[in-house]
């Protein structure tokens, strides 16, 4: 009898389960490695590609917030494409440490700031507004409904600023704060992803 065939478990940093690649910009093709942390779920390549096609004229020079940063794939992609700076907010010690290492390896440490904190704590601390916010919370918690009001109340987005929102496809369209508008919405597999904007003031208002 032939012995059973076993498949080795990928180690952290193995190209695949614990890494994703940067799709475009100065760091195109570089891989982002991240720890095997519960709930850490990088945005799929094709979703990121669509998102940055949506934002192609707005990323260069932008100040970005990567809330629930996890692997940092969204914020690092933005830096690769010319964002002025990115604040990464991540509650996991291991993931935050890995993000700092990635920024060093890519040469982006001067434009990326990793804050080890929960999203709620961060949003309740006064700070400067951003041009783009990436909001990709863990699935299964209906978190968008809780964090969107905090983003709006704290005025974390500039007028005309963009918010990328990711949730389970089954959850449907997110309920947006007053003064926000939904620009784009798509799905891929079990992922629903959306682009919203804080309505800019009318000309002459």
Average per-residue pLDDT for the chain? 86
Percent of the chain with pLDDT over 70: 86
pLDDT score of 11: 34
pLDDT for the residue 141: 63
The confidence band for 2, taking pLDDT boundaries of 50, 70 and 90, is very low
Q: What is the pLDDT of residue 45?
A: 87
Do β-strands 31-33 and 112-116 pair in parallel, antiparallel, or remain unpaired? unpaired
Give tens-digit pLDDT for 95-154: 999 999 999 999 999 999 999 999 999 999 989 999 999 998 887 666 788 899 999 999
CATH architecture label of 19-198: 3-Layer(aba) Sandwich (3.40)
Give the Cβ contact number of residue 84 at 10 Å: 14
State how beta strands 157-168 and 85-90 pair. unpaired
What's the confidence (pLDDT) of residue 40? Answer: 66
pLDDT tens for 3-23 read 443 333 333 333 446 888 999
Tell me if 80 sits within 8 A of 28, measured CB to CB. Answer: yes
Name the residue ranges covered by the structural domains of the chain: 19-198
Confidence (pLDDT) at 176: 95
Q: What is the pLDDT of residue 101?
A: 93
> Cβ-count burial of 87 within 10 angstroms (0-12 exposed, 13-18 middle, 19+ buried)?
buried
Q: Which two tokens stand for residue 18?
A: 């614990």
The more confident residue out of 37 and 88 is 88
pLDDT at 204: 53
Q: What is each CA distance from 198 to 36, 162, 183, 201, in whole angstroms?
A: 35, 7, 10, 9
**b vs e for 112-145, b when ≥16 Cβ sit within 10 Å of the residue's Cβ?**
bebbeeebeebbeeeeebbbbbbbbbebeeebbe
Are 40 and 95 a contacting pair, CB within 8 Å? Answer: yes
């Amino acid at each position: 009898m032939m012995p059973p065939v076993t498949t080795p478990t990928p180690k952290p940093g193995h190209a695949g389960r614990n890494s994703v690649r940067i799709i475009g910009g100065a760091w195109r093709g570089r891989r982002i490695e991240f720890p095997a942390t519960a709930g850490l779920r990088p945005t799929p390549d094709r979703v990121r590609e669509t998102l940055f096609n949506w934002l192609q004229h707005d990323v260069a020079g932008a100040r970005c917030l990567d809330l629930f940063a996890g692997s940092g794939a969204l914020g690092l992609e933005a830096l690769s494409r010319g964002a002025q700076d990115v604040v990464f907010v991540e509650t996991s010690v291991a993931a935050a440490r890995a993000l700092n290492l990635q920024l060093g390896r890519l040469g982006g440490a001067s434009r990326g700031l990793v804050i080890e904190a929960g999203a709620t704590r961060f949003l309740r601390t006064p700070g400067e507004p951003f041009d783009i916010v990436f909001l990709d919370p863990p699935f299964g918690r209906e978190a968008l409904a809780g964090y969107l009001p905090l983003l709006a109340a704290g005025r974390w987005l500039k007028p005309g600023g963009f918010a990328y929102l990711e949730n389970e496809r089954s959850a449907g369209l997110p309920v947006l704060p007053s003064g926000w508008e939904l620009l784009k919405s798509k799905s891929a597999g079990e992922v629903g992803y959306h682009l919203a904007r804080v309505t800019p003031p009318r000309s002459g208002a």
